[in-house]
């Protein structure tokens, strides 16, 4: 069965020293008695040290992105094999910033998903509608398309390694959250869509995280919804006390 997950996406924040400091604070402040899986995603250059630092803790490490090719002439890119070789087994793919700022299409993201799974990595697959799409009442169609185009090429068994993160773009970094009801409505729709494609078991076993301005004071209410299995946290993941409070709210 699925279990609660709270993942911190550090984005392009924290140099080497600051990464060490935040990891130490997290080790000291995160609960160890909760049934919550805790993941942090520092920048590429700090992944290896984070893996080492967190070795005997209940916190695991994810990458924020990777390239879809095996290796070769892709200046500036990082492969699944490289991530695996330093002990990173989880990767965030399809984040809205990758889609909007770096031109990642559904097809590119699908290729990345396939490549990550080929290396037996777990994927945190991000998707969500923009404000205009919600205003035009296209949000369900947009989300369904992102799911179909990014993930429905997979066999049912591959879904063991998929975690979903619904992140309405209008709620990311804006301080504007989806209401707990809006989050539940969309999460339920997502689970139904998966059920129609893959059946009840895959739908029931897939964790669907919510992301977008989750903070200590709204996390509890959002996480209490039946189809919300935790969160993907940006800004609030950069402060140990806030991240700890959010993890506590999930457990």
Residues interacting with ligand PGA, by CB under 6 A?
9, 167, 172-173, 211-214, 232-236
- Compute the distance between CA of residue 88 and CA of residue 99 in angstroms, rounded to an integer: 23
Least Å distance, CB 183 to ligand PGA, is: 13
Least Å distance, CB 249 to ligand PGA, is: 14
- Compute the distance between CA of residue 192 and CA of residue 186 in angstroms, rounded to an integer: 10
Q: Between 203 and 229, whose beta carbon lies closer to ligand PGA? A: 229
Q: Are 240 and 22 in contact (CB under 8 A)?
A: yes
H or E element in which residue 208 lies: strand 208-211
CA dist list (Å): 30 to 6, 34, 60, 242, 251 = 11, 9, 12, 10, 12
Q: Between 73 and 101, whose beta carbon lies closer to ligand PGA? A: 101
Q: Which residues pair with 163 in a beta bridge?
A: 124
> Which residues does the annotation mark as catalytic?
95, 167
Least Å distance, CB 211 to ligand PGA, is: 4
Comparing C-alpha atoms, which of 225, 220, 227, 224 is closest to residue 245? Answer: 220
Least Å distance, CB 43 to ligand PGA, is: 14
* Cα atoms found within 13 Å of the Cα of residue 248, Cβ hemisphere only: 14
Q: Between 128 and 202, whose beta carbon lies closer to ligand PGA? A: 128
Q: Between 74 and 102, whose beta carbon lies closer to ligand PGA? A: 102
Q: Between 113 and 202, whose beta carbon lies closer to ligand PGA? A: 113
- Compute the distance between CA of residue 47 and CA of residue 82 in angstroms, rounded to an integer: 11
SS3 content of the chain, % helix, strand, coil (to 5): 50, 15, 35
Q: Are 49 and 19 in contact (CB under 8 A)?
A: yes
Measured at CB, which residue is nearest to ligand PGA?
234
Least Å distance, CB 143 to ligand PGA, is: 16
């Amino acid at each position: 069965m699925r279990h609660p997950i709270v993942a911190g996406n550090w984005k392009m924040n924290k140099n080497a020293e600051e990464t060490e400091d935040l990891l130490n604070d997290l080790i000291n402040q995160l609960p160890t008695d909760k049934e919550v899986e805790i993941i942090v995603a520092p920048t590429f250059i700090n992944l290896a040290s984070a893996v080492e630092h967190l070795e005997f803790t209940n916190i695991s490490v994810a990458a924020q992105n990777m390239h879809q090719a095996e290796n070769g002439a892709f200046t500036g890119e990082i492969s699944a094999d490289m991530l695996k070789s330093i002990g990173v087994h989880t990767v965030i793919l399809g984040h809205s910033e990758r889609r909007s700022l770096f031109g990642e299409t559904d097809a590119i993201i699908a290729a990345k998903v396939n490549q990550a799974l080929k290396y037996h990595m777990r994927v945190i697959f991000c998707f969500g509608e923009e404000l205009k799409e919600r205003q035009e009442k296209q949000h369900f169609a947009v989300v369904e398309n992102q799911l179909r185009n990014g993930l429905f090429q997979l066999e049912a068994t591959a879904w063991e390694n998929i975690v979903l993160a619904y992140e309405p773009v209008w709620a990311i970094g804006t301080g504007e959250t989806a209401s707990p009801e809006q989050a539940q409505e969309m999460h339920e729709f997502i689970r139904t869509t998966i059920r129609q494609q893959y059946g009840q078991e895959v739908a029931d076993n897939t964790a669907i995280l919510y992301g977008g301005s989750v903070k200590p004071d709204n996390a509890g209410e959002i996480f209490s919804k039946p189809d919300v299995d935790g969160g993907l946290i940006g800004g609030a993941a950069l402060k140990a006390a806030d991240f700890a409070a959010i993890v506590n709210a999930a457990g």
